Structure 1
């Protein structure tokens, strides 16, 4: 798959911009702050319905406007698809596929697939667990769009259950609320089990690719790995003793080696057990302490966690390896009927040393479409020689042939 045309209206700094692209490598060159990343952000948003830079949609709207529009023409083999996404400030976002009637924004998920590398990726290693959970969930939705509903259902139930727990902490919890909490426990157990099961399957697909990608980018002296740590653990020992006192704390999650062998129904039952054990502490604190929203994807380098132990160069290599692993997983799907993703490298090379630049460039250069941004051409390795587009204030110059 490749992106042939991109058009933005009132998106970020652009009142209107049109960009024509082609397969292979395209490098967008322009001064910092001129709008290169805005173009890449729009493509990434079309694929995931989220920005890699901000957590809400409001900053995506050009200042003083109440909506933005992303239009894209995607080509896969002999077929082309036109996508339109309307980002609204005061109502739900809407999409269109091939100029049909408007649909929910999430109905366009899975049509445009991207893997986006950006300086913000350092948070995948250095940041809190929410960054790694978001990484997993965005990849999950890209591969299986129906899991957008899985994640949405879980978030909705979590919000309702937390509201009930907060009312208990405020002294408004009665015996009648106990039965209501039981109902929400079952809803959350099922929704959480669906999400956890999908994440566990995805991590098992990612792990071999992560190891391979890290070896490609480095001298291979250390092995990279990822371990999913769930707030579900062995709640009862053989004697029926309760879980340890640290149960449910995000910093104290414990790996359950057999979780990936459990069905959704079995995970649901495990969650119901966990909620029963954690109820007293949840009522005291007024929040849900167990569930996928508190799980961790621990990144390991050699024998130590990457967070806190990896050097700056190793941290960058781990971040790049996670994105490359995503790319390889998508390629696996492409071989069975899916689409190869568009690779986007947004101002990444300026952050890397020469060795890592060249290794990364050599790995990605064979992708169907690679979009790169850079402030100066000198940052681009010769392995990514290709079409150049100059970005200027408010728009672009016509590309030069190379």
Structure 2
């Protein structure tokens, strides 16, 4: 799959932009703050329904506007499809595929994108929420229906937490908690599905991640992935075993949850542990090793999407990555992504981009698109 054309209206610092893209490498070059990353962010939004830089959609809408619009024409062989999303500052977003209205959650079925950015170092060094978000976004890209499961789980979690806080404030115990039992079952059903899906994903990621890390770092440091779960089934990691363990753990934690007014058990509390040489990456790995493991995770995700896809490779986006890497890692990374159908690179300086990826250069200046031939387009 490739993005053949990208159109923006009122997205970030773009009043309007129209960018033609090509198979193979495409490079957006511009000083910091000019808008090159905004182009990459818009493409990735179609695949993840979110931003890699902000937690909410409102900052994506240009100041003074109520909504932003992203439109992309995708191509695979002779097939063409146009995806559109309206990102509203307030209220629900809207989407179209081929001009027909659809739910936004349908977009990731058609847009397969893997984006790596400096923010991804937080997957390795940041809070557990960054690692959960990485795993869940990849889950949704591979199985879009899980977007609904994640949304339902978050909704149930909020309702249950509200009930726990209310019960704590009112001193309710025992028989007065029948409503909590209902929310427990919903939490268990949805949470067990997420736990099992995450475990399967990690098992499938391990091989490609090991290969990618070794290729990038130039050494085999035996990278490992493992979930630290708040619900640990005593039997195999089957859905039924997780459901039973989840129920038992909730029951055991109920008194403490009522005292604290918050849900202490479930996938929202789990963490993805990464190890090199048997030691946790967080706290032990060097800066270069941390970058290598973060890159390897994204590239492993790209390999899984490539294996799953009936519409060709995912689009690989490298957003301001090369400036953070030494010469050896730059060369190794370029070699790893060079055979993908389309690679989009953003950089502040041309020289940061390895020569084999320095093609189809687009210069970005203050929300305006300027091609190498100085053809200026409104944007």
TM-score normalised by L of structure 2 = 0.96
Q: State whether residues 361 and 371 of structure 2, in contact with CA within 8 Å, keep that contact through their aligned partners in structure 1.
A: no
1:295 CA displacement: 0.4
1:221 CA displacement: 4.1
1:287 CA displacement: 0.6
CA distance in 1, matches of 2:176, 2:339: 59
1:55 CA displacement: 0.2
Q: Which residue of 2 aligns with 1:383?
A: 356
> Do residues 196 (structure 1) and 171 (structure 2) align?
no
Q: Which residue of 2 aligns with 1:297?
A: 272
1:172 CA displacement: 4.6
Q: Which residue of 2 aligns with 1:356?
A: 329
> Pairwise CA RMSD of aligned residues?
1.4
For 1:159-218, what per-residue CA distance to the aligned partner results, in whole angstroms no more than 9, with x for missing partners? 111111111221352545311111111111001011111111111110111111111111
Q: Which residue of 2 aligns with 1:7?
A: 7
For 1:366-394, what per-residue CA distance to the aligned partner results, in whole angstroms no more than 9, with x for missing partners? 11000001111110112313211111222
CA distance in 2, matches of 1:398, 1:372: 15
Q: Which residue of 2 aligns with 1:25?
A: 25
Q: Which residue of 1 aligns with 2:377?
A: none
CA distance in 2, matches of 1:221, 1:209: 13
CA distance in 2, matches of 1:376, 1:141: 34
CA distance in 2, matches of 1:194, 1:126: 27
Q: State whether residues 161 and 288 of structure 1, in contact with CA within 8 Å, keep that contact through their aligned partners in structure 2.
A: yes
Q: State whether residues 275 and 281 of structure 2, in contact with CA within 8 Å, keep that contact through their aligned partners in structure 1.
A: yes
Q: Runs of 5+ in structure 2 lacking a partner?
A: 375-379
CA distance in 2, matches of 1:339, 1:183: 44
Q: Which residue of 2 aligns with 1:311?
A: 286
CA distance in 2, matches of 1:362, 1:219: 13
> Do residues 273 (structure 1) and 272 (structure 2) align?
no
Q: Runs of 5+ in structure 1 lacking a partner?
A: 235-255
CA distance in 2, matches of 1:85, 1:177: 45
1:264 CA displacement: 2.0
CA distance in 1, matches of 2:218, 2:317: 25
Q: Which residue of 1 aligns with 2:238?
A: 263
1:228 CA displacement: 1.2
CA distance in 1, matches of 2:253, 2:367: 54
Q: Which residue of 1 aligns with 2:367?
A: 394
CA distance in 1, matches of 2:223, 2:173: 50
- What secondary structure, in the 3-state scheme, does the structure 2 residue paired with 1:109 have? helix
TM-score normalised by L of structure 1 = 0.90
Q: State whether residues 209 and 325 of structure 1, in contact with CA within 8 Å, keep that contact through their aligned partners in structure 2.
A: yes
Matches within 5 A, 1:3-402: 3-100=3-100, 102-233=101-232, 261-334=236-309, 337-400=310-373
CA distance in 2, matches of 1:83, 1:283: 46
1:263 CA displacement: 2.6
1:269 CA displacement: 1.6
CA distance in 1, matches of 2:121, 2:31: 22
Q: State whether residues 11 and 68 of structure 2, in contact with CA within 8 Å, keep that contact through their aligned partners in structure 1.
A: yes
- What secondary structure, in the 3-state scheme, does the structure 2 residue paired with 1:50 have? coil
- What secondary structure, in the 3-state scheme, does the structure 2 residue paired with 1:5 have? strand
Q: State whether residues 344 and 372 of structure 1, in contact with CA within 8 Å, keep that contact through their aligned partners in structure 2.
A: yes
CA distance in 2, matches of 1:349, 1:33: 17
CA distance in 2, matches of 1:218, 1:263: 35
Q: State whether residues 213 and 220 of structure 2, in contact with CA within 8 Å, keep that contact through their aligned partners in structure 1.
A: no
Q: State whether residues 330 and 339 of structure 1, in contact with CA within 8 Å, keep that contact through their aligned partners in structure 2.
A: no
